[in-house]
Structure 1
């Protein structure tokens, strides 16, 4: 057992309610007082103990009331509101403070949620058994009686009969009502000075008198939580302030992250759905507006605005203007819609909501909200048409313009549908998906249609039609309308297929005993029409990846990086300098497509503005199918290129590239370079003049792949070697030196390469490896930031780097970047788990494995001392064996 555990056990054993001193525990255990005191303070930092008094200091254990897996309301709250972590920790400390808690003052602007937070504190006190289940939570707004100080004080403390004119009976005050619980005083700055003074005696010893009483003292055990929007030092008496030591400030909505605001919106939407007893559909554009519009009155205003918008949507629903409770951006008040025009401020957020015309959020009373895409997750064309039609009409589209939009969407749907259904459902198990009745209908339809069309239909038609008919029948049984807005167009363009489809409706009706509308024949005809050469040729086409971005070299730089990492020249970059008009860039793109003879599908990755419309222009002029993803990053280019190279369809490349945004949202891309701890430098040193050093820099720049925001190549010229260490130390004050290129040997531990090695390009590979390793650690730090609970991801990776380097040096090996990621992630999670008191899995045949790899065991064990000392953890032989496995394979070597 560790010493700190022994101290904790003894603390729980000796504590009888009054607290235990460090000397008492030291004497009982035979340990030094200094060591025991240090351990007790650590236990306080970990929330396992609290201390009171000054000289002497007494310690008390915090009772482990909750089960390990049981979360309190405050714990759940802070998971979705991480910016309030400090506030929550302060609140917990105040409630746990012996003997009866610590009074609290909450600061914050109007609408930040002070009342709600006070309510959560009360709930927390009950959950950890610091207060009884029926303990009162009394709320009083001092502003309600601000113009009548005497009445205000009587409300709080109560009144004795005859205390003033009109006081015709004894009246209990809120302090008495709150006995055993919490009294929440909102807008406490409106409490007059005399009222504040009356609180002094009560706060100090729990004694008070009703207004007009002189001969009777009353007692009440009340924890006071006060709240104000003002500067407390300017509006509250200093004597009052001294009696409320715990001051908690709640951030305003502007200071909270976009993810937190998103969680708040979802919570309020679910609450409204629960009130209405129905689900609420919210377009992504509406969510974007709510996430970005100016909301000066904070959370309170956000909640009220959402209630008003939901009320309007409900009114449209009950008056039959809409089939569902649906909120589109056109329904929002103008001041909320203005949030849509703030894209530049929330660039990362919009990555999450691409293809906005085809998605809705579905809210109900459950904890989760659903992002409804085309097909509603079940490849359901009916839902897509419903939502698309309503949205286009809400946007004011009608007639030919609406038909054109719908035609494109239906064609896109069927192409995507064929590939996706075929790839996910096999003929052999289709019965398990749709049922035996549907399978029999489809078999009869296929047999009938092949004879009428005089051709064999593919597996795609079989699988696709089975799922489609299943959805159609389910929709009819739920009394929902089937509508095909392109029915006439399909009937004329695919007349043969349409006539066959009409007869197929009769087969469905006879076998399943349902009445099928003619609109459904249009969909069945599309299955026949899209089966054959057109689809199969489409599937075999390559997908070109073209990047277009503003700036002189933005697009080509991203493409060069992606192509280099993938060892290809597949992706294409077209720069859009800021001094070039969009038409010039479009013309440049068209010229390239003509000269290159490109006829395959194209995925455009663009940054913003008019570049997002280029795909439509290319489709019109070249007849090429395109997809466009805005807000491009290098990661998008890499993923799109990788998927396109291995032969995925345009739809698949598009969907997979969109999924990159899931990782970008996690926080990795939200970190700016300015937030990183240090820049990295490669120093090129010459003694023959600065021009030589610059020449070396130019060679390195041409042959190395690195991010200019993180890495810098610094050329320096030395007149003599006497000042070299001073120059290097000055650079290290601002940057970490990755390596040195020099014509002579320097006495330093920094990796060095000779000028001849750079000129012959021999040094390029090892220097690139150093850069790749640093990039790996930077990315892992960002990735782990939200994964690790007990340690700081950036700091721990620096220690893990030393740990891995120590093993590399002992084994005289170099770990490649892929293996490096695995080792670093494993060790980071191990440290985090051990710091949190997690268990260790037993390593099978541990003793035998150690004896067979004894030298490696000793090397890893020695290296682990770096981590055990720094993080005060015990790394067992089981953990060491797991780490050894990473270094016991040849794949770790470059």
Structure 2
């Protein structure tokens, strides 16, 4: 017996009328209070136990729940198949009908799950005690023997020796083997008329004869469940169907609704994940395709298509084509991908199930829960504080200034967080994403807090707090520190909410058996403060203005974006060709004058003078404005979505800029070339790290203008990765020296290797290669005739940066040198007017590598525009070939 069952049984045995507390029961059973308290709270969630609202908490048995019937197999089935409630009621009636149930005919298209439903009826009969535990369930497909009626009948009824040529012994049929149980006859319409007549005699009188027997009658106690895809009125004898009182119709996949279809998809992917013993990542476009494609053979085909996609992804994983079991839409069959192009996408349903902020959906092989994998994963408040604090302290900012600097980030986080989870999750699936026990605790907290604060909290707070406490529990389990830099401010400004939050800490600690610092009360209080009444006033969102040439170009893009996102947010300014730019600018001025936003605006324009509007508005109204030129609908959607959620203007601009396939050269913001850094890490004191630095300086030949050695002294090992990431934003870290391994792709060397001078030659090689690459601007200056070498180097650097972002792979420096040299010489050659070199079998090569082709083609566009050259597909193929030969791994772009 499990511990939780022992606790439950003893609670029933010794429980007083008012209940007993966890300590009393723990002492009585010789168990720890933490384990007893945890199990009692789980029993509360299951409804078997009730607890008081007093202190200490008293637990009693919920006898109302005890008296309820246990959940049956059909009840569990209906959770994922709501549309089959009528069919289930009929099935229960057929099994329970006295004395031995009713024979049943199941109707439905191919693949709807008739066989599975018949098996559920069998399992329900076992649970209900209508048949014995060892009773058989036999499946027979009549179509397998439809071309040989005699053999078909012999399979069913059995054979007497000598009944026909080859019948050399007596043989039982399936009716005899099914004695006391259920015989399922699939495709029963393929049973010949003679067989149907023989079968209804068995149903009527419970007697039959084997083939060849004329005198001996045999008795049968078998329940028959039959299934057919055909119209029974035209394909079965009337005398046969009259013997079947219960007819059950299983709806097709189209009739079962989109919510239910997604549940099936989720179930099948989870099954495959368990079968592979690995997580399976499925792109959102793949799910959308599976969600909408014309699945002619219903649930059976849907399951098969999902199994095939998982098998293909697993094969790619084993052959090292992919680092994880990942399914993209390009991996699906063509007929499945057609689901992406359906006109009726049922967007509101889709967004409520998946949300619009996710790129992959991860099916976990260790549980039945799914995990969202965000394209740009939303950080928890704890991670934001850790990262920001490390970054600011690295710059020498004091703790007092740090608190003030972080105030805006913390406030914006809670406002965005509450709003975002409400948009992405609905009540029906919150418990699929967060432990139901945590949700139960949140419900208790909110119920208590509403009474204390005299407030009614919205679902936004319910969702936000559920996910926040899930993150909190994970952090505590991993022994991570919880710090709230704004604790004093929150305590002073929101006294009531903070005091209630302190009491909520006790509820959390009691239920989850964890110890929490006072700082956490400050975070919980923010959820109480930022309820639905004032959240909109808390977030000062930036505006989105789309300005484009044409009578309705801007309007069309804005309508598409707003409709897709289900909000009226972005604003359009059409610029007809017969209207002066000054008139359009005046309209923009008038709009901004009436709707001035301190957070600023992002202007999405197409070309020409419209791209200068941002500078004018920024100067006149003294508000920040960012401009993205060569706008597309994709940019409008991204800008609108993130602006409406309260993202910072710089972040919106950066994210929109990253998805731009090309930009005008004058709009490009160049980034300064980072200097190199070698990082030495020691946890025994700064002196040790400095000693390693001096050892490297003595033995390496480095240019201190290009490379520096940075010693780091760490107190907590777990913080090193965030420190490395923060430092990597300012420096190009080329090597790390440490006595422990760090989760990074940067080359690492142990202290022993460095002290013994065994690693010096390898580090020197890295420094030399990196220095050669950084010096390529000057090298190209002496080799190129028609363009300036240093400027070309900067442009090629930008091209490579785009490539690396698109393929999500960092290119090794040795390879960068070759790629840079090739592209620079190509620009110089084309600029001089030389003819391009033809690439053999170009069309076939592009067709086989479409993903890489579009990445390279789009990334080269700004070079083509700047240098006024025509980069033919032949040249693109040569560049692709170089990248391929470097054995770079890349993922094909999602459609």
Q: Where on the TM-score scale, by shorter chain, does this alignment land: which range?
A: 0.3 to 0.5
Q: When the two structures are superposed, what TM-score results if normalisation uses the length of structure 1?
A: 0.42
Higher RCO, 1 or 2 (CA under 8 Å, sep at least 6)? 2
Task: Give the TM-score normalised by structure 2.
Answer: 0.42
